[in-house]
Amino acid sequence: MLLLALAGCDIIDLVTNVQETVDDLTNPVIIQSTFIGVGDPPEGFEFPEDANIGPLITALLADTEASSDLAEAPVTGATATIKIGGNAAISLTEATEDGDPPGYSAGAEEGLTYEVGQAALLKIETETIKASATWIMPDGLDFEVPCRLSSQQDLTIVMDSTDYHSPLVTVIDQEGAITWSNLPADIDAAVDWVNSGGFSSVAIPGAEAFAADGPYVIGIAPVQRATPESFEGVNISLSAYMVGQMRFWSTYAGEIVFEVPDSAPPLPDTALPEIGDTACLDPDDFE
């Protein structure tokens, strides 16, 4: 009798687990979220105060029971928060302006920080929906980025690690304006990116990214995708929580021209890096 009882318990547990898996795969509620941390700018470069470059999380909650199109099925009026490690939860603000993509977001102005190795717990809740996702915030990676490019030169960024889904890349000019980025521009693009299976290289078009000769900063964020076990209350196969930290490298496109007054001290006896070099000048050489 005891063996029968134990066998019965095992069967009940198995049925329960199967049912939970089916529920997770058929749940119409979906989260699509991206959380990007931002590291320090390269030495000698400062972002303009109005450039608004900092950590950012965006999140969309959708209920696809009525429509399979995420853009047509956003859940509005929810309470959305992000909790970093043991810190207090930060509220995400819902997009309400005409033309803004639906969803919720928070950045540095709301006190958002990116802390490598800490858990980032995202919650989006209504009276009937209790959705969440959590992931340990990964560190950024080192990339080979040349510190000199020819005018409007195309550049390919290659990620060697297989621990990440794909790299997100942003090019910023000396005024703090983004000249090119592969960050998804809308919901459909974000879904396509998430479901692409990932990629290890990004081709930057020089004519667009480096249109004018001068200094640029290239930000690269290798992003990890949270595993299905990281979600609660949503469809685990269609939901995505993408997390990564962006690091920055400086480069110069075109010819470097020095305007040296007659009264200036002589330039250091240091050769300028050649186009394509990744071993850039040490700022200490110019002190």
Write down the pLDDT at residue 186: 81
Write down the pLDDT at residue 152: 95
Write down the pLDDT at residue 173: 92
> Would residue 276 be called left, alpha or beta, if left means φ above 0 and alpha means ψ between -120 and 50 degrees?
left
> What's the rounded Cα separation, in Å, for the pair 214 and 182?
21
Domain boundaries, given as residue ranges, for the chain: 2-255
Q: What is the pTM of this model?
A: 0.81
* CB of 230 closer than 8 Å to CB of 133: yes
Write down the pLDDT at residue 16: 38
Q: Which residues contact 82 (CB under 8 A, 6 or more apart)?
A: 35, 57, 89, 90, 92, 106, 112, 120, 121, 122, 123
Write down the pLDDT at residue 257: 64
Give the residue ranges of the chain where pLDDT is below 70. Answer: 1-25, 66-68, 257-287
